A and B are shown apart, each in its own frame.
Chain A
Amino acid sequence: MTDTSTPTATKPKASDGPFTRFLKATELDTRLIGMVGALALIWIGFHLYGALVNNFGAFLTPRNLWNLSVQTSSIGIMATGMVLVIITRHIDLSVGSVLGFCAVVMGMLQVYILPPLLGLGHPLIWIIAALAGMLTGAIVGAIQGSLIAYLKIPAFIVTLGGLLVWRGAAFLVARGETISPVDETFALLGGGPYGAIGSTGSWIVGGLACAAAIFLTLNGRRQRRKFKFALRPVWADTFLATLGCAVAIGAVLLVNAYPWPKGIVRQYTERQGIEMPEGGLFISHGFAIPVLILVAVGILMTILLNRTRFGRYVFAIGGNPEAAELAGINTRLMTVKIFSLMGFLAGLSAVVASARLNSATNALGTLDELYVIAAAVIGGTSLAGGVGTIYGAILGALVMQSLQTGMVLIGFDAAIQQIVVGSVLVLAVWLDILYRRKSK
């Protein structure tokens, strides 16, 4: 066994069935396929339920799926950070409260503090407010991370305290009032007809995504050839690139199929001084800005986790904290950085959430910590540490939000929603345990 030319141990065996061969050749993980399958089941299930019971399948419509994408953004952004926290064997229960605190800080800035200084509608207002919100989150996270790393207080306790502290702080800052309306440009970050990039913009994004899928595939082949590692079969690579492109183009077609409502079109034509044609105008929403923010965060966090030293240390600490320390990694400083990043993302999430509501209240983000943790865990982040993916967490956020939205659509009330969401979380963790036991 000294054959080093084709060392990858995943060569197909004659005994493998076609599906196993397919998995080995494409190197897709079964967990990803399982999650996509679960998502498809949820979507089709809610749609059919609506169609059969209410005589109207409202789920698989461009309108609902577009809204679903926007609603997923806030939880999805935070879930990418929670992955790092959980990989390093910690937990952050404070993210919902931190979101609320950041939101009211931004609200106060752009409604009461900045306009008198700069003038109402000044173009710097939304930028200063958004940066201040994210900075607030990062500082809060760094404080909590320091308590965990240097005072050795368990993350569970520090962030459980934080859950109360930051919610209370949000109430004090906002004095219990709703702060609104937010700056007009700021509001675009939350989506809505004007907060989306339209048909042409969406095609450009879709084209870029397609190009990226092809580039990544070709680059992967080049790298493997350079180091004489086993190549994937050409058909498998072609399949993956095509799949990537198909998903991108499908998404563009979907978001472009959802038109602006009539009222907004009228407002728009009046403002632009365009004559409204007979049959009305079909203006596509295109991708919503918060969804693009989520995608950008997802890409950056994936690069951070998989392609940088920082990400490697996150995994090492999760796998064996003592070994990480002995390898010269400053594990305490890493903890501070990871919690600070989590806080930063809660701040960014606060931007999206308060922009979407066009207001900030101290209750914003209540219970979000549960959805965020659930998203990460459903997405395959192991609570035992050391394992997790960003795309999994984003898919997990989509699963959670799909459940939530679907139940609202078919008319389940809040109490049942809570029961279902809670049960799904427990079920997901149990399935995860079974899956890991089997793959061992």
Chain B
Amino acid sequence: MENTGTPLVEMRDISIAFGGIKAVDHVSVDLYPGEVVGLLGHNGAGKSTLIKCLSGAYQADAGEIHVNGQKVEINNPRDARSHNIETIYQTLALADNLDAASNLFLGRELVTPTGFLDDAQMEAETRKIMHRLNPNFQKFADPVSALSGGQRQSVAIARAVYFNAKILIMDEPTAALGPQETKMVSELVQELKRQGLGIFLISHDIHDVMELCDRVSVMKNGQLVGTEKVSDVTDDEILGMIILGKKPERSAA
């Protein structure tokens, strides 16, 4: 796939520091419609921090974000959502004391014409989407603290998918999942890609990334090592970028 035209998202020269630590240091990445871009790197490389600047959880100290070619200001999660950017956080960001439906609609509740919460409608919608994503899911009445890791993850995924995202950020979405559920997420990623979404996929599993992604961006110590087309590199070359922070010889030429 050749990427021509306007990218869905461009993050240009993003920097953010906490105290003295440069968590993200002049990093630029971009994403086209129907494309999956993998973000790779060791723990603490700055992957989560980078995408949190896009999701509105953090504000970058420097750099610009463009959505569909337009420069945008993302100061909080509401701004990100208004640009159809949805995020599955590594921590899942669920309120443990609320049930699946309340979490799915958190901040965007359905209300009746009189302005009260329409819990029945929200539960019905949740049943519908969960039936699609995870047909075994039955615990609609329980708080999510009563759910297994995989079930919680599927609630977080359902929340990101339900609201017609155009840009989806998945921060280690398969971390808590078994093989079967992981496969389900892979299928979901492929389906969303066909629908034309752009997806940032953060993962530890190189094989996942090589299978699902079109391009990978590798980070180390807050800096971008490089961005490569998956079809142009081998697993070992990617590993080299992650571990040594070296770009492969071939693409540098």
Do these two chains interact? yes
Which residues of A pack against B, CB within 8 Å?
1-2, 4, 7-10, 223-224, 226-227, 229, 303, 306-309, 311-312, 315-316, 318-320, 322-329, 386-387
Is B96 interfacial (CB 8 A cutoff)?
A: yes
Is B94 interfacial (CB 8 A cutoff)?
A: yes
- Which chain A residues lie closer than 8 Å to B123 at the CB level? 227, 229
- Which chain B residues lie closer than 8 Å to A1 at the CB level? 136, 138
Q: Chain B 88-116, CB within 8 Å of chain A: the 1/0 string?
A: 01011111111000100011110100011
Can you list 13 A-B pairs with a CB-CB distance of less than 8 A? Answer: A4-B131, A7-B140, A9-B138, A9-B141, A227-B124, A306-B117, A320-B95, A323-B93, A323-B95, A326-B77, A326-B89, A327-B107, A387-B97
- Which chain A residues lie closer than 8 Å to B120 at the CB level? 223-224, 226-227, 229
Please give the distance in Å from A235's CB to the nearest CB on chain B.
Answer: 21
> Is the Cβ of B106 less than 8 Å from the Cβ of A329?
yes
Residue of A nearest to B77 (CB): A328
Is B127 interfacial (CB 8 A cutoff)?
A: yes
Please give the distance in Å from A215's CB to the nearest CB on chain B.
Answer: 16
> Is the Cβ of A318 less than 8 Å from the Cβ of B97?
yes
Cβ contact of B107, chosen from A226, A227, A329, cutoff 8 A: A329
Residue of B nearest to A316 (CB): B95
> Is the Cβ of B111 less than 8 Å from the Cβ of A309?
yes
Cβ contact of B81, chosen from A312, A328, A386, cutoff 8 A: A328
Among B95, B107, B109, residue most surrounded by chain A Cβ atoms (within 10 Å):
B95
Task: Report if A325-B106 is in contact (Cβ < 8 Å); known contacts: A227-B124, A229-B120.
Answer: no
Is B76 interfacial (CB 8 A cutoff)?
A: yes
- Which chain B residues lie closer than 8 Å to A326 at the CB level? 55, 57, 77, 87, 89, 93
CA distance in complex: A328, B57 (Å): 9
> Is the Cβ of B93 less than 8 Å from the Cβ of A328?
no
Task: Report if A315-B98 is in contact (Cβ < 8 Å); known contacts: A2-B136, A227-B120, A309-B117.
Answer: yes
CA distance in complex: A1, B138 (Å): 8
For chain B, what secondary structure do more than half of its interface residues adopt (helix, strand, loop), or is it mixed? loop
- Which chain A residues lie closer than 8 Å to B135 at the CB level? 2
Q: Classify chain B's interface size.
A: 35 or more
> Is the Cβ of B94 less than 8 Å from the Cβ of A323?
yes
> Is the Cβ of B124 less than 8 Å from the Cβ of A312?
no
> Is the Cβ of A327 less than 8 Å from the Cβ of B98?
no
> Is the Cβ of A328 less than 8 Å from the Cβ of B116?
no
Is B139 interfacial (CB 8 A cutoff)?
A: yes
Residue of A nearest to B159 (CB): A327
> Is the Cβ of B95 less than 8 Å from the Cβ of A328?
no
- Which chain B residues lie closer than 8 Å to A303 at the CB level? 116
> Is the Cβ of B117 less than 8 Å from the Cβ of A328?
no
Cβ contact of A324, chosen from B95, B108, B131, B141, cutoff 8 A: B95
CA distance in complex: A325, B76 (Å): 9
Is B78 interfacial (CB 8 A cutoff)?
A: yes
> Is the Cβ of A324 less than 8 Å from the Cβ of B116?
no
- Which chain B residues lie closer than 8 Å to A315 at the CB level? 95, 97-98, 102
CA distance in complex: A312, B108 (Å): 11
Cβ contact of B97, chosen from A7, A10, A227, A319, cutoff 8 A: A319
CA distance in complex: A37, B219 (Å): 61
> Is the Cβ of B109 less than 8 Å from the Cβ of A319?
no
Residue of B nearest to A385 (CB): B97
CA distance in complex: A229, B98 (Å): 19
CA distance in complex: A308, B116 (Å): 5
- Which chain B residues lie closer than 8 Å to A328 at the CB level? 76-78, 81, 107-108
Cβ contact of A320, chosen from B93, B108, B136, B142, cutoff 8 A: B93
CA distance in complex: A223, B73 (Å): 42
> Is the Cβ of A307 less than 8 Å from the Cβ of B138?
no
> Is the Cβ of A308 less than 8 Å from the Cβ of B77?
no
Please give the distance in Å from A353's CB to the nearest CB on chain B.
Answer: 32
- Which chain B residues lie closer than 8 Å to A323 at the CB level? 92-95, 106
> Is the Cβ of A312 less than 8 Å from the Cβ of B89?
no
Residue of A nearest to B130 (CB): A4
CA distance in complex: A306, B116 (Å): 9
Residue of B nearest to A87 (CB): B97
Cβ contact of B98, chosen from A226, A316, A322, cutoff 8 A: A316
Residue of A nearest to B146 (CB): A440
- Which chain B residues lie closer than 8 Å to A327 at the CB level? 77, 93, 106-107
- Which chain A residues lie closer than 8 Å to B116 at the CB level? 303, 307-308
> Is the Cβ of B77 less than 8 Å from the Cβ of A325?
yes
CA distance in complex: A223, B141 (Å): 15
> Is the Cβ of A322 less than 8 Å from the Cβ of B102?
no
- Which chain B residues lie closer than 8 Å to A227 at the CB level? 120-121, 123-124
Please give the distance in Å from A313's CB to the nearest CB on chain B.
Answer: 8
- Which chain B residues lie closer than 8 Å to A306 at the CB level? 117
Cβ contact of B95, chosen from A224, A308, A309, A319, cutoff 8 A: A319
- Which chain A residues lie closer than 8 Å to B76 at the CB level? 328
CA distance in complex: A308, B117 (Å): 5
